[in-house]
Amino acid sequence: MPTVSVDKADLWERLGKEYTTEEFDHLCFEYGLELDEDTTAEVEAAIKAGLPAERPQLKIEVPANRYDLLCIEGIARALRIFLQKVEPPRYKCIYPPGGESELLTITCDPEVKKVRPLFACAILRNVTFTPRSYASFIDLQDKLHQNIGRRRQLVSIGTHDLDTLKPPFRYLAKPPQDIKFIPLNKDQAYTAEELMAVYEPDKHLGKYLHIIRDSPVYPIIYDSVDQVLSMPPIINSEHSKITLNTRNIFIDVTATDQTKLDIVVNIVATMFSEYCDVPYTIEPVKVVLTDGSTRISPDLSERHTTARASYVNACTGLSLKTPEVSSLLQRMSLHNTISPSNPDELLIEIPCTRPDIFHECDIMEDAAIAYGFNNLPHTFPATSTVAQPLAISKLSDIVRLEWALAGWVEVLPLILCSHEENFEFLNHADDGKTAVKIANPKTLEFQVVRTTLLPGLLKTIRENRSHPLPIKIFETSDVVFKDTSRERQARNERHAAAVWCNKTAGFEIVHGMLNRAMKMLEIPLIGNTDHKAETGYYIKESSGELCLNGLYQLWVSSSVTDPVYFPGRAATIYYRPAPAKASNKLSALSQDIKTVLHVNHDVEIGSLGILHPAVLANFEIGYPCSALEFTLEPFKKKMQKIWTNDE
Amino acid sequence: MAESLQQLILDTLDAQSTIQDTRLLTIPGQSVPAASHEDQITILGALNSLLSREMIIYETHETSSHALTPEGSQIVAEGSHESRVWAALPAKGEGSPLTPMQLKKQVGDETAKVGQGRAFKNGWIGKEGDGLVKLVATIQDTTQNDLKEIVSTGTLKAGEKILADLRKRKLITQRKGQWFTVRKGSNFSTSTAKPETDLTVDMLTSGAWKTSTFKKYNFDAEGASIDGGALHPLLKVREEIRNIFLEMGFAEMPTSSFVESGFWCFDALFVPQQHPARDLQDTFYLSDPKEALPPEPEYYKRVSTVHEHGGFGSTGYRAPWQHEESSKLLLRTHTTASSAHMLYKLAAKCRGDKVESDEAEFAHGSSTVDGTDDGFKPAKLFSIDRVFRNETMDATHLAEFHQVEGVVADRNLTLADLIGFMRVFFKKMGIEKVRFKPAYNPYTEPSLEIFAFHPMLDRWVEVGNSGMFRPEMLEPMGFPKDVRVHGWGLSLERPTMIRYGINNIRTLVGHKVSIEGIENSPAVMF
């Protein structure tokens, strides 16, 4: 949320009342603003200490979609209307005395389509600035650049002293070497090419250069005598700069999309039109667009829409009459009248300063804000539903609880880790098909989404050197694998893992943890050569043997001794799922044949072993460790369906 | 010896009921009463042993006694220096006087030097010519007598002044001493059988527990330290919040997809494609894999249209739509991405998708409009799972945290329902005072920030966000217009940090957390 700093005394003057901090905080809260800070105490302390001090400021957080609240002018205007001190203003385009024919014009060259296609502008006549309103004018432009303009990428603004220029104007795109002018706050002319170098180290402007740097042509605005106004979105010219004494202001706005272009030109013009001799009036400009058509800019017309009191009531839980809704909306700057044909319907005129309103629901919200969220009746939805935990949550809670009951401590490491921690540190090579990788991490700690729980557990042991031995920790949580069959190209898998660290490695300890978890899940232990058992689990020394998988497929088990473990002290965990009930004799027969053929349906679910000393060294652990890790997915129980939420 | 002494004490008490002065006892094996300091130390050992069994009680009396130095002992045996000088000299007129040199030879240097002066002072000896003679026929050797008294009584009746003088002359040294008055204790008996410290299986077998006496247990000490297992504190809070949802009839949503597409994480939620949350600065995008498979094309079309051109009563953002943004893979920034997917499924029947009907499904409070079934069934859903933000980390922010999320979908839900519901939900979390601030969130309208009054901080703090999902999100999914959906979210870490008084999130989540801290985290009960 943007934060706007407003002059406290000025705001009180505009609101016609000196609020206490608490009162104003409350007003902000009700309207949807947040009073972040009141610098009064700070300023008073500075004055007391004899230090230079600014005037007391209020720092107000503003909703990100309310561009009309990005300056004191807008905040004060909105609050005065909210407090019913004034009616919402009507913003008007005033033509020059001679009418449309006297409008200033600007012609857009089709070349601009190559770099920054859209242009809008407005003129403020007979403006009177004070130093503070001038500063506010500059500040609003910056706020719009940063927010809706996405750091000038989408929209940028230039403002000029119209009296220094000779219209008509032209919006062109030219090769950078053909552009030359004295930019704002410089005393010599540079070509656009040179400017790129001049501003490169500039802390403020340097970050905008990339927007046009590589374009063959740069956008540029000239008057009729080739005087540059500005080179959007980088810099204005020194010649046309506005000062405290400027009376007539030309506002140029360039953009990549029409909606944001219109929003920005309207906001700048309407906010500062209050300083014109005739407040809230703006002189439009005739813009000849790239396709040759003309448009009068800005377009300050209200958007006409409707809202129903019944809809407002249905959504809020209120029972307001149409006129009541009408006056609530009036307080939110929305002019409206009750429809002559439908007493439920309000004809709403949405001012150009409220582009945040898309839908009737936005109008409904405004009514609710004006009514006061905290004044709404306390009701409770009658929705009756049945509660249901997820199968995977229940399963992992069982393992968590059993392992904690066994005297082990649950830890909670991060899910993101470095590539090294997930692969090299575990003596694993990255086959490129396993882990999901992050494109833009801020630190090397977050390069991949873990595919195993081991790195987090080992890092936790590393950081807990001072804990008395043995250290026995576990985690049950998700790892992520690439999965090209899915829309999101990845899938989570719930793993359970435990690491024992002591003066001796203790394979049998983590082995016992496996047995314990399986016992509690009622998975029987079967012999690793037992082909007859219907279901169960067993462990088998990891080695490079050939296995049968499916009826005729030969494959080399992936369980050649995993190099994360010490040779000869590692085993793979297999699970044989209970067979689906044979529905007919044929499938029963096939089952028998498979048994005879020793067909292996068993799935590898994990492994355990003594960690390799090189792995321990990588994680800077000075004591032997044994580790156990397996997936919990095959043990999920089918829950009673509330509704289908399987993939 | 120790046992016989204890026995003596008990027997004496049995007979006399009080032992006024332990110095009068005669320790077994000795012939004289235990007057000495060493004897009283021996007795104290026996008394403490009996005291611990509450067989006796005793009072301590402090004494100050004196013992002889080797020089003092010599005086007791041989007489004082002055007396030895006197004895060595001839009586006046009865022999030739001894010269000081001769005297030295006879009694030794030291005695001659110290003894001469004192003997003169006492008027025992005098000069005769160059020599020395006795002046008196008999002497009273006071020093020797005093020292003898000290040997036998440890002190001197004559008083502190003389004692001080003797100390100064290094003939005696002072010793602090104790003696005791002993009375019967609550467990008094004359049996000195050793007390038991614990009940044992042997005692049960033999029945000895009936007659054994037990050593008094020190209830002030801590019990033995217990090396139990422990669950992680954050997940203890997760369980508590999960229980609140289950108590309120919520079903847990599957959230097992850390990887999401721009479409599900943002577009489907009507988050504009140019929204800052989608910046590289805030969201982790994937380099491998990079792009999602396309979602269901009809739905995709409805979503892109409502963004770009509007529809469903909305003007839309009227900003250019880029498919590329939509198909980008990323790590979900909120679990609302999962909620969106679940809501899309919930609306399947309303869209007219063929949904496998499952007769075993719980009847789900289904409601219909005018008796016509549009396929909508209300739902209350929740999830608590990990989300990822590409943020700069500090004391309160990590790149990953847990989001608590609740969703209620039903016909004609109201904003008042949402607020009323939030009040109950937070009350169950122990938060009584809440208020709601209008806020902006691209996918909810109205949007409300939830503030709770923090009694310790004495101010209102933000505890969560909530709102009603926008029609631009719900209607493209296929929901009927009268279906409204409440959603709210909060972080799991925040209430946990408040619960455990933790200021730095790194001490709660991640590998730097102390295992000991986990072991000692108290249980959670909201």
B413-444 pLDDT, tens digit per residue, is: 999 999 999 999 999 998 889 999 999 999 99
Mean pLDDT score across all residues of chain B: 88
For A579, the 3-state DSSP assignment is coil
The pLDDT assigned to B361 comes to 45
Q: Name every chain B residue with its beta carbon within 8 A of the beta carbon of A440.
A: 280, 284-285, 390
- In 3D space, the residue among A280, A242, A223, A212 whose CA is nearest the CA of residue A107 turns out to be A223
Cβ within 8 Å, pair A388-B415: no
- A393 touches B at CB < 8 Å: yes
- A341 touches B at CB < 8 Å: no
Q: Of B227, B234, B436, which is closest to A374 when you measure between CB atoms?
A: B436
Cβ within 8 Å, pair A383-B227: no
- B353 touches A at CB < 8 Å: no
Assess whether pLDDT exceeds 80 at residue A598. no
- B309 touches A at CB < 8 Å: no
Confidence band, pLDDT 50/70/90 cuts, at residue A545: very low
Q: Report how far apart, in Å, the C-alpha atoms of A191 and of each of A177, A235, A498, B432 are.
A: 6, 13, 65, 65
Residue of A331, A358, A392, A394 best to disrupt the B interface, most CBs of B under 10 A: A358
- B511 touches A at CB < 8 Å: yes
Closest Cα of chain B to A443: distance in Å? 9
- A608 or B368: which carries more pLDDT confidence? A608
- A358 touches B at CB < 8 Å: yes
From CA B168, how far away is CA B69, in angstroms rounded?
12
Q: Of A359, A376, A492, which is closest to B258 when you measure between CB atoms?
A: A492
Cβ within 8 Å, pair A29-B435: yes
Mean pLDDT score across all residues of chain A: 91
- A113 touches B at CB < 8 Å: no
How many C-beta neighbours within 10 Å does residue A278 have?
Answer: 10
Q: Of A385, A397, A436, which is closest to B289 when you measure between CB atoms?
A: A436
Cβ within 8 Å, pair B416-A478: no
Confidence band, pLDDT 50/70/90 cuts, at residue A582: low
Closest Cα of chain A to B226: distance in Å? 10
The pLDDT assigned to A18 comes to 95
Cβ within 8 Å, pair B438-A365: yes
For residue range A211-261, list pLDDT tens digits in order: 999 999 999 999 999 999 999 999 999 999 999 999 999 999 999 999 999
Assess whether pLDDT exceeds 80 at residue A346. yes
Confidence band, pLDDT 50/70/90 cuts, at residue A549: very low
Confidence band, pLDDT 50/70/90 cuts, at residue A555: very low
The pLDDT assigned to A517 comes to 95
The pLDDT assigned to A640 comes to 57
Closest Cα of chain B to A155: distance in Å? 12
Confidence band, pLDDT 50/70/90 cuts, at residue B356: low
Proportion of chain A above pLDDT 90, given as a percent: 84
Name the residue of chain A whose CA is nearest to B296's CA: A487
Beta sheet of A345-350, edge-to-edge order: A303-308, A345-350, A335-338
pTM summary value: 0.80
The pLDDT assigned to B510 comes to 92
The pLDDT assigned to B445 comes to 93
Average the pLDDT over B347-369 and give the result: 62
Cβ within 8 Å, pair B261-A488: yes
Cβ within 8 Å, pair A358-B314: yes
Name the residue of chain B whose CA is nearest to A361's CA: B445
- A64 touches B at CB < 8 Å: yes
Q: Name every chain A residue with its beta carbon within 8 A of the beta carbon of B408.
A: 381, 383
The pLDDT assigned to B363 comes to 40
- A316 touches B at CB < 8 Å: yes
Task: Print the SS3 string covering A310-376.
Answer: HHHHHHHCCCCCHHHHHHHHHCCCCEEEECCCCCCEEEEEECCCCCCCCCHHHHHHHHHHHHCHHHC
Average the pLDDT over B84-110 and give the result: 82
Assess whether pLDDT exceeds 80 at residue A583. no
Bond before A233 cis per omega within 30 degrees: yes
From CA A361, how far away is CA A366, in angstroms rounded?
9
> Could you tell me how many CB contacts below 8 A there are between chain A and chain B?
327
E strand or H helix at B243, and its extent? helix B233-247
Q: Could you tell me how far CA B53 lies from the centroid of its own chain?
A: 32
H runs (alpha helix) in A243-332: 258-272, 309-316, 322-330
- A492 touches B at CB < 8 Å: yes
Q: Name every chain B residue with its beta carbon within 8 A of the beta carbon of A368.
A: 415, 438, 446
Closest Cα of chain A to B217: distance in Å? 28
Q: Name every chain B residue with its beta carbon within 8 A of the beta carbon of A641.
A: 358, 360-362
- A377 touches B at CB < 8 Å: yes
CA dihedral of residues A438, A444, A446, A447 (deg, nearest 10): 30
Q: Name every chain A residue with its beta carbon within 8 A of the beta carbon of B403.
A: none
Confidence band, pLDDT 50/70/90 cuts, at residue B157: confident
CB B329 within 8 A of CB B393: no
What residues of chain A, 144 to 163, have a C-beta less than 8 Å from chain B? 147, 150, 154
Residue of B245, B314, B315 best to disrupt the A interface, most CBs of A under 10 A: B315
Q: Name every chain B residue with its beta carbon within 8 A of the beta carbon of A390.
A: 252-254
For residue range A403-454, list pLDDT tens digits in order: 999 999 999 999 999 999 999 999 999 999 999 999 999 888 999 999 999 9
Closest Cα of chain A to B330: distance in Å? 8
Q: Report how far apart, in Å, the C-alpha atoms of A6 and of each of A156, A307, A357, B441 are.
A: 23, 34, 25, 24
- B515 touches A at CB < 8 Å: yes
Q: Of A373, A379, A404, which is closest to B448 when you measure between CB atoms?
A: A373
Q: In one letter, which amino acid is B399?
A: A
Assess whether pLDDT exceeds 70 at residue A599. no
For A618, the 3-state DSSP assignment is helix
Q: Of B318, B470, B518, which is closest to A361 when you measure between CB atoms?
A: B470
Closest Cα of chain B to A58: distance in Å? 18
Confidence band, pLDDT 50/70/90 cuts, at residue B66: confident
From CA A535, how far away is CA A524, in angstroms rounded?
7
- Here the ipTM equals 0.90
Cβ within 8 Å, pair A411-B316: no
Assess whether pLDDT exceeds 60 at residue A596. no
CB B268 within 8 A of CB B307: no
The pLDDT assigned to A424 comes to 94
From CA A477, how far away is CA A513, in angstroms rounded?
17
Cβ within 8 Å, pair B436-A258: no
Proportion of chain B above pLDDT 90, given as a percent: 42
Confidence band, pLDDT 50/70/90 cuts, at residue A594: low
Closest Cα of chain B to A101: distance in Å? 32
The pLDDT assigned to B362 comes to 41
- A489 touches B at CB < 8 Å: yes
Q: Name every chain A residue with its beta carbon within 8 A of the beta carbon of B392.
A: 442
Confidence band, pLDDT 50/70/90 cuts, at residue B1: low
Angle of the B109-122 helix axis to the B100-107 helix axis, nearest 10: 120
CA dihedral of residues A608, A613, A619, A624 (deg, nearest 10): 70
The pLDDT assigned to A592 comes to 62
- A362 touches B at CB < 8 Å: yes
